[in-house]
Amino acid sequence: MTSARPWTKFYPPGTDADLGPLKYPHMPAAIREASANYAKKPAFTLALPNGSQGSITFEEVDALSDQFAVYLREVAGFKAGDRVAIQMPNCLAYPIAVFGTLKAGLVMANTNPLYTTAEMLHQFTDSGAVGLIAIDLFATKVAEVLPKTSIRTVVVVGISDLLPPLKRILISAVQKYVKRMVPPITFPHTTMREALAQGAQKIAAGADAKLYAESLNHNSVAALQYTGGTTGVAKGATLTHGNLVANTLQGLAMWRPFLRFGEEVMLTALPLYHIFAFTANLMIFYLAGGRNLLVPSPRPLSNLKTVMLSEPITWFTGVNTLFAGLMHEDWFKQQSQNGGWKLRGSVAGGMALVPVIGERWEAVTKTPIYQGYGLTETSPVATLNPFQRPKREAIGVPVPGTDVRFVDSDGHEVAAGETGELWVKGPQVMQGYWQRPDETARVLKDGWLATGDIAKMDEDGYIQIVDRKKDMILVSGFNVYPNEVEAVVAAHPAVADTAVVGVPDDECGEIVVAFVTKKKDANVTEEEIRQHCKASLTGYKVPRIVVFKDDLPKSNVGKVLRKDLRDDAQKAYFAKRAEAGSRAPGAGNR
């Protein structure tokens, strides 16, 4: 597929099909240019469910992230290339932490704040993180994990950090003393406000944050973004400054004619620590001069009501689950009927957009929705539907500078239009998995990334995903790996054997189903298995359905045959739906 790129005729006029030389040598250069171009405009607004808000401008983001970069290098004493874990929800401090870490020439490792201590420990130790920037709400878990890691400096962030003083004090007091959401912090730490103040003092004394980026280039590592890849153990996809710059420019190339630079307002309900929102909302939209409305958590969906009814939102990124859920909300339906939206378009990613959900969204909002495709390993955008000519069933066309091929099980390219495993090649493809050469060799072949997804391309160059080669389950845009869930289920004292598969679900994409055989004379219920899993797994990984069986289908060497269980999982799923009426099984646990 490298010689002919039929899809390029659908690129916006003037788009370089090869992307061309990257405009920026590293991400700090891109950040600084956007900060200067849109200096006085608001860049980020914290949008809390109670309506409390606060904004920071582009020039404030630039100055504050400079202060934080100087703190990291001159006060905390980190060296170029050191890894710093960033563990927080959407808040004003998040872009400061990310931009400051990148400006400091350090390597950031996004970490889900909802991770269990076991998941945190794995990521912190695997990355070799020596620093941690963490939200105060989960300080108890941090305290438990810290002694087992190489982390020596912790910066603690509050949701209200960087808000105006009166709002900050009020919100902090409510969280700490009224709602008792903030536990005591029992480990040595520095607050974000203290870190920024110390960085500002160093700058006043002559420190220059611009110097740290002088040694950076396209091959310098910028981020370790953790993913299971094609197997269950979480691995750090090594993303370089070149990867992030390229993918940001690729997204802008496709989006540019449809953006009013410096004027758009983006609703950021997806967590910025997820690679989709990280690139689409944080990086691409920052360079476009847009204002990001940061929602710390979209669950329950009522958290979005105030901001969606009061702000002139023009763009919205989401996953299928979020679009589907909003259309069930009475306030959302009422606003749509009244024609109250300023929305110009939405972008779906992270998981497949179910066609009927896309159709309903467009009918309800009277605006288009565009689907893309990508992986953590591709920074993440590999394909995107052309904004002027989308195809609902397709994941779009390869973005500029990207080639694709479709191969059979022997690695040979299949005939045009036939189904095969999708391979991707382009400047956004990761360097490899962090310190895992064997795993890297399995997916990177002469520069081509084997995605594990089975797909086909039509005559126009639009790609459609047919199935997944790997056993990975995609729940609301998040990867769930059967091996990981099976290990936790198997640890229950009543479990003799287990297997985990995914079942398609219109709202979540897929849900997790666990099959269990009990030990002789053991007595355990479905809910007990689920509660056991909740102690070790993030919520979206917990099985929604547990099916008990006398035995599991296995190969002649004793390997459980997951494919033979999928029909049974489907039957169990529909049985649960029938029991619950119109309510999906386990819906209250999403």
Distance CA 255, CA 344 (A): 12
Query: pLDDT over 70 for what percent of the chain?
Result: 96
| 3-state secondary structure at position 1 | coil
How far apart, in whole angstroms, are the C-alpha atoms of residue 345 and residue 315? Answer: 5
* Rounded to 5°, angle at Cα 343 from 33 and 327: 130
CA torsion, ordered 528, 534, 537, 538, to nearest 10 deg: 140
Which residue has better confidence, 576 or 444?
Answer: 444
Give the integer Cα–Cα distance in Å for 351 and 479.
9
Q: Is 211 helix (H, G, I), strand (E, B) or coil?
A: helix
User: Residue 504 and residue 317: Cα distance in Å, rounded?
Assistant: 22
For residues 62 and 49, the answer to whether their CB atoms sit within 8 Å is no
What is the average pLDDT across 519-546?
94
pLDDT in tens, 292-305: 999 999 989 999 99
Neighbours of 206 (CB within 10 A): 6
The rounded radius of gyration (Å) of the Cα atoms in the chain is 23
DSSP string for residues in 121-133: HHHHHHHT--EEE
Question: Cα(488)–Cα(69) distance, rounded to whole angstroms?
Answer: 39
Q: What is the largest CA-CA distance in the chain?
A: 73
Q: Which residues of 266-305 are buried (b: 16+ CB within 10 A; e: fewer)?
A: bbbbbbbbbbbbbbbbbbbbbbbbbbbbbbbebeebebbb
589 band by pLDDT with thresholds 50, 70 and 90: very low
State the DSSP string of 479-523.
EE-HHHHHHHHHTSTTEEEEEEEEEEETTTEEEEEEEEEEPTT--
Torsion of CA 220, 223, 226, 229, to 10 degrees: -40
- Average pLDDT, rounded, for the chain: 92
pLDDT in the model for residue 527: 96
The torsion of the CA quartet 438, 442, 445, 448, rounded to 10 degrees, works out to -120
Which residues, listed in sequence order, are joined to residue 225 by a DSSP beta bridge? 237
Residues in the chain: 590
Helix (H, G, I), strand (E, B) or coil at 311: coil
d(CA 223, CA 264): 27
Task: Assign 21 to helix, strand or coil.
Answer: coil
The pLDDT, as a whole number, for residue 355 is 84
Q: What pLDDT is recorded for position 102?
A: 98
Checking if the pLDDT of 586 tops 80, the result is no
Nearest to 275 by CA among 229, 209, 323: 229
Topology (CATH level 3) of domain 473-589 = GMP Synthetase; Chain A, domain 3 (3.30.300)
What average pLDDT score do residues 202-223 get? 98
Reported as a single tens digit per residue, the pLDDT across 555-585 is 544 467 888 898 999 999 999 888 877 554 4
Could you tell me the pLDDT band of residue 484, with boundaries at 50, 70 and 90? confident
- What burial class does residue 465 get, using C-beta atoms within 10 Å of its C-beta: 0-12 exposed, 13-18 middle, 19+ buried? middle
Taking alpha carbons only, the member of 297, 291, 309 closest to residue 269 is: 297
57-216 CATH: 3.40.50.980
Dihedral sign of CA atoms 103, 109, 114, 118 in order: negative
In the DSSP assignment, the letter for residue 251 is H
Which residues have a Cβ under 8 Å from the Cβ of 5 and sit 6 or more positions away?
A: 17, 398, 403, 461
CA distance 94 to 43: 12
CA atoms within 13 A on the CB side of 23: 17
pLDDT of residue 559: 63
For the chain, the structural domain boundaries read 57-216, 398-468, 473-589
Q: Classify domain 398-468 at the CATH class level.
A: mainly beta
User: Taking Cα atoms as reference points, which of 514, 512, 509, 457 lies closest to residue 491?
Assistant: 514
Q: In what order do the strands lie in the sheet with 221-227?
A: 190-191, 153-157, 131-135, 83-87, 107-110, 221-227, 235-240, 432-433
Of residues 353 and 361, which shows the higher confidence score?
361
Q: What is the pTM of this model?
A: 0.86
pLDDT value of position 154: 98
3-state secondary structure of 92: coil
The string of pLDDT tens digits covering residues 70-121 is 999 999 999 999 999 999 999 999 999 999 999 999 999 999 999 999 999 9
Q: Quick check: helix, strand or coil at residue 183?
A: coil
Find, among 252, 258, 220, 254, the residue nearest to 239 by Cα.
220
pLDDT of residue 324: 87
- Residue 23, burial from CB neighbour count under 10 angstroms (0-12, 13-18, 19+): middle
Give the model's pLDDT for residue 228.
67
What CA–CA distance (Å, rounded) separates 19 from 218?
A: 15
